[in-house]
Structure 1
């Protein structure tokens, strides 16, 4: 009996320890309804990204920083990836983009009592515009901004431009439509309706993960992520997520997979 017990204990001791999943550090920012720092799961896109990487055997830790700092940390090798970003030409100088997660729609917000029409970026030159550092608003707007043709006040925090818009200190604020209305509901629960958006789109852009292109590990991870993401697309998860974001129901969206449960 004693010998049997000893042999059993030895057998258990000699079994190889199960390796802990590697943790990936992904930089992001508070950008509800896509990313919500107040939620334990990080919001809709972190739920998706965590599930995709979980199916590949990885854990994900989301690091919240301003958008420009995320880019710098990725370039310095302090992060495995950053999200959600559009795949602009300047970012392709140092990064490699994943396949699209969802599609964002950039519009121009303005006060309801301000008559505003536009059809080209040239029509915006006479307005005071509030923007966020590290954010891309589409090729035409970004080019005009870099050329110094626009009257822009850049801010480090996402909500500053909406506060300035409410106070009448800027005239326009370009922002993702879903993000803008989520932010307005939080900032001005009683009179958020004073700010509306113009129906013309400034830009539509797929939102993606961005990895370092000079890092072999980053190249391997983006290929792995894309392969797993295709499975989610085939199951209809990405379509359901886009619909949930468009209808304001992103908080209730969960991927149709047990990967997150399995990860925990």
Structure 2
């Protein structure tokens, strides 16, 4: 049952800075926060977002301290404790590297010998994650995404897998003296990742919220909102996208 007319129920959703998808510095939380607020508003919910490291969000979700987390891909290990919404948008993970590195790859084994930066709490696809667990790849983990680009600029790593839209948004915001212009990406994607809202598994409230959210998301797709959102992300215009549904604000 949805909240009664005139009664708004507050939801608490965990996320992290991931420009252009989510941005703590923006009062509206960024483009995906606008989408999720609008979808839930149509079912009578008001959403507040809290920003934490990605692995902490997942821990808080498992402990029942959050109603949901976003945006995540649905890796096998996450599905042990969470259920995924229908896709919000699609993402493309690529390897960023310095322009002076003659880098090419076709399979996971081609990555051996390279120093690869990764971010705590991230999944980069089943094949890559399995190779890391098996010790077949040399990785250096950090807690913040921008650390990976900094290590790349300092030549302490060779490769940094990152969502392409996110990577270039981060590089555009760096001062020119940090050498962002010397970084490019390999066109072959490491992973194509639909991004989702994750709810706690085996929780009756989560099951209800998931159904309501997916139903609302389908209505947004039918109105063309999701297509406009994907086009805005692909064109670098995510800040200009607004949903056609209502948006309710909540205090974190």
Cα RMSD of the aligned pairs, angstroms, is 1.6
1:177 deviates by 0.1
More helix by share: 1
Partners of 1:217 and 1:75 in 2: how far apart? Answer: 14
1:22 deviates by 1.0
Q: Is the CA contact (8 Å cut-off) linking 2:148 and 2:160 kept in structure 1? A: yes
Among 1, 6, 13, the alignment partner of 1:26 is 13
Task: Please show how residues 217-228 of structure 1 align to structure 2 within 5 Å.
Answer: 217-228=205-216
Deviates more, 1:55-64 or 1:186-195: 186-195
1:19 deviates by 5.5
| 1:82 alignment partner in structure 2 | 69
| 2:187 alignment partner in structure 1 | 199
Tell me which stretches of 4 or more aligned residues in structure 1 moved more than 2 Å.
187-191
TM-score (norm 2): 0.94
Among 141, 146, 164, the alignment partner of 2:128 is 141
1:189 deviates by 3.7
Partners of 2:34 and 2:21 in 1: how far apart? Answer: 10
Partners of 1:261 and 1:211 in 2: how far apart? Answer: 20
Q: Is the CA contact (8 Å cut-off) linking 2:116 and 2:138 kept in structure 1? A: yes
Alignment deviations for residues 94-153 of structure 1 (CA, whole Å, 9 cap, x no partner): 111000000010000000111100000110011000000000111111111111211000
Task: Please show how residues 90-169 of structure 1 align to structure 2 within 5 Å.
Answer: 90-169=77-156
Q: Is the CA contact (8 Å cut-off) linking 2:7 and 2:44 kept in structure 1? A: no
TM-score (norm 1): 0.90
DSSP 3-state at the match of 2:185: strand
Matched, 1:240 2:228: yes
Point out the structure with max Rg over C-alpha.
1
